[in-house]
Amino acid sequence: MVVGDASLDIDLLVIGAGPGGYVAAIRAAQLGQSVLIVDKEAWGGVCLNRGCIPSKALISAAHTYEHAQHADSMGISVENVKVDFAKVQAWKNSIVAKQTGGVSGLLKGNKVQMFQGEAMFINEHEARVFNDAEAPRYRFKNCIIATGSRPIELKAFPFGGRIISSTEALNLPEIPKSLVVIGGGYIGVELGQTYAKFGTKVTILEGSDHVLPGFEKEFTKLVARNLDKVGVEVHTEAMAQSCTKTDNDVTVTFTVKGEEKQVTADYVLVTVGRRPNTDGELGLDLIGLKMTDRGLIEVDNQGRTSIPHIFAIGDIVPGMALAHKASYEAKVAAEVIAGHNSVVDYKAIPAVVFSDPEIAGVGLSETEAKEKGINVAVGKFPYAANGRANSLNAGQGFVKLVADKETGTLLGGQIVGPEASNLIGEIALGVEMGANLEDIALTIHAHPTLTEMIMDAAEGALGHPIHVLGGK
């Protein structure tokens, strides 16, 4: 109990318990720090509760449903395949509960103090944490801010009712008959494609000239093809203008190259990006942290802010908003606080889209390498030439490796195809280690496996492909 309003002492205050915050708390505790972690919602943050984990559970369920419907080519016929969406949601929620319970157990097991509530800075060394029951003050030696992000809300499409964010899209009580998705980035494509597989009529409005604009067209065109196969109507170079709502549906007015069009659906899902959680009652303005025009906290290569004993990580600092980036930054910040000379190095951060087919990339793309003036060697290998891929009835896609032609050093790689999310790990390790093409080509890969495609792509880049003609 707090006597009067005296401050309790703590080595480290961590604000936010997502994949950045909880990892930072655990690592700091392992290094001998006394740690208090604060979060107003469930342990695990957006990723475990309203993002990565629940979305992948729904995606897996949609894949299973689709496979059951289309297994005739393998000699398997399944009649009257049905979806009990209430059970799907219950299963998804059980996965979330297991993961968040695991995080809670890890925090407790590492003797991290946990406070369910909010935090507000009083000054550079003190903060009040509070909920409906209590409001103690803590004096901290160091602090890590890991408050994450939230969906961006468009003025013409305010959230509420039948205009939803990804949070509500993951928790719909029923499969909607129709859905308009504003934004064809990774969240919009993943959720739009998932609901389309469940039978929803989906329309995607994307402002650029192709969906998933963060990836090159040679990869995204396979996703676009599969979107079309499940009946998704994609409008590129489209701008959503306004909407009219009723109790039962929403009509969206949008333009495509100056031509005005309309589409009506049960729901409108807005997925145009995420906003850092640096506003509100946290009190960052009170302590005067230096920030960017976009509301991101400026940090150095150790995660340190303009106030030396306060650190920031994850979606609230510049760079890609990725859970694994936040976890990586968390370990660096925790180690720096404990006296280690750790620094961040973003040489190999994988990016993955759990679309169908999946897309994954790490390091430099061919375009990026050429823009840097590097003479590149490129190796591509198709899923269609891989025995394991064909035995999985998964012959769509390819692996691409990019290397420095003079030295053979691996610069990056991209994959589009089934299990790309799992395969990218080998390429990421190669980029991080500074491996060259021969290192990969001479590594004996088990047969038959999908990983052989990475070896085959390396052999192609070296000019001696075995399992395809040419190699480019």
pLDDT at 201: 98
Determine whether the annotation assigns residue 184 to a binding site.
yes
Q: What is the CA radius of gyration of the chain?
A: 24
Determine whether the annotation assigns residue 188 to a binding site.
yes
CA angle 50, 55, 58 (to 5 degrees): 130
Determine whether the annotation assigns residue 149 to a binding site.
yes
Q: Give how far Cα 132 sits from Cα of 47, 96, 120, Å.
A: 25, 25, 15
Q: Write down the residue that tokens 């089934």 correspond to.
A: 418
Q: Give how far Cα 172 sits from Cα of 85, 88, 93, 177, 341, Å.
A: 9, 11, 12, 12, 47
Q: Write down the residue that tokens 């399944």 correspond to.
A: 78
pLDDT at 79: 86
Identify the burial level of 346 via C-beta atoms within 10 angstroms of its C-beta, where 0-12 means exposed, 13-18 middle and 19 or more buried: exposed
- 351-462, CATH topology level: Enolase-like; domain 1 (3.30.390)
Determine whether the annotation assigns residue 148 to a binding site.
yes
pLDDT at 471: 45
Active-site residue, 340 included: no
Q: Which residues face 291 on adjacent strands?
A: 297
Determine whether the annotation assigns residue 229 to a binding site.
no
Angle between the 21-30 and 323-337 helix axes, to the nearest 10 degrees? 30
How far is the C-alpha of 18 from the C-alpha of 117, rounded, in Å?
14
pLDDT at 313: 98
Q: Which residues of 79-118 are buried (b: 16+ CB within 10 A; e: fewer)?
A: eeeebeeeebbeebeebbeebbeebbebbeeeebbbbebb
Backbone region of residue 214 per phi and psi (left: phi > 0; alpha: psi in -120 to 50; beta: other values): alpha
Q: How many CB atoms lie within 10 A of CB 467?
A: 16
The domain spans of the chain are: 7-151+275-337, 163-272, 351-462
Domain 163-272 in CATH 3.30.420.140: no
Same CATH topology for 7-151+275-337 and 351-462: the answer is no
Angle between the 217-229 and 186-197 helix axes, to the nearest 10 degrees? 30
How far is the C-alpha of 296 from the C-alpha of 307, rounded, in Å?
15
How far is the C-alpha of 407 from the C-alpha of 439, rounded, in Å?
12
The pTM for the full model equals 0.94
Q: Which amino acid is at 378?
A: V
Determine whether the annotation assigns residue 185 to a binding site.
yes
Check whether the bond before 357 is cis (ω within 30° of 0).
yes
Annotated catalytic residue within 210, 447, 464, 467: 447
Determine whether the annotation assigns residue 273 to a binding site.
yes
How far is the C-alpha of 284 from the C-alpha of 295, rounded, in Å?
11
Closest C-alpha to 240, from 154, 357, 325, 318: 154
Determine whether the annotation assigns residue 406 to a binding site.
no
What is the CATH class of 7-151+275-337? alpha beta
3-state helix, strand, coil in the chain (%, to 5): 35, 25, 40
How far apart are the two ends of the chain, measured CA to CA in Å?
68
Q: Which residues of the chain have pLDDT under 70?
A: 1-5, 471-472
